[in-house]
Amino acid sequence: MDLHGKHIIVTGGGTGVGAETAHTLAKAGATVTIMGRNAETLIAQGLPYQTCDVTDASAVKRAFDAARDQSGAIVGVVANAGAAETAPFARMTPEALQAMLSVNLIGVANVWQAALPDMKSTGWGRMIAIASTAGLKGYAYVSAYCAAKHGVVGLTRALAIEMGTTGITVNAICPGFIETPMLEHSVANIVEKTGKTTEQARESLLTGNPQKRFIQPAEVAGTALWLCSDAADSVNGHTLALSGGEV
């Protein structure tokens, strides 16, 4: 899985899965540029970076142009930036729905569109979205998030067909609950709203996982590494569930 000579962008690269993925790809020889909204967390990774909000298409284009000027043509994108908010459907506001769609779905489209010209010119490319099992099934109290992640899965499958003869593959990784700061936020939210202990809250999130454990960032990063490699040339339009058998 030698990625020398490949310039790959990882969004949401300052923490969690994004940071783990960026370093994994860099260790395999790729030139990695990380992107995110918080310059401080990006700088802490010690990798080339550009700040941008993936929901702003013009800002994404500027960041990709700058990354290209610095490190060459972009032939891989791991669209990892995302967010999750919880609320019963009856109390979900139009603004909350739009926010989930903007960062989790439109953000993926923005970064993939920004990278597409380079990939077409090169005749090789990897578009990867870090989606979720919420793109493959429903979960209560996160209907907006589920809608956005289902959208990512649909986008992935449609674009994979369009790119079929171009040398560009398009895939989504769909993890279950991952041991990251976002998970801790979810646990804290359950504790606050239900009165459960932290341990009880964590156990409640594992009820659907046959392995009864959280997914580790390194597992997601390793899957992204494989998808970026030549070993995955024929993997296209796939949604890889990392869920211990949940889906």
* Every domain of the chain and the residues it spans: 7-82+103-135+148-176+216-242
Predicted local confidence at residue 105, as pLDDT:
98
Phi, psi of 157 (to 5 degrees): -65, -40
CA angle (20, 80, 29) in 5-degree steps: 45
How far is the CA of 68 from the CAs of 6, 23, 36, 65, 155, in angstroms? 12, 19, 16, 5, 25
Q: Is 7-82+103-135+148-176+216-242 a domain of CATH 3.30.2350.10? A: no
Predicted local confidence at residue 61, as pLDDT:
98
Spans of the chain, pLDDT less than 50: none
* Paired strand residues for 178: 215
- The pair of structure tokens assigned to 16 is 């969690």
- The pair of structure tokens assigned to 191 is 């504790």
Predicted local confidence at residue 189, as pLDDT:
86
* Paired strand residues for 174: 241
CA angle (104, 143, 219) in 5-degree steps: 50
Percent pLDDT > 90 in the chain is 93
Q: How many CB atoms lie within 10 A of CB 119?
A: 23
**Residues assigned a catalytic role:** 145
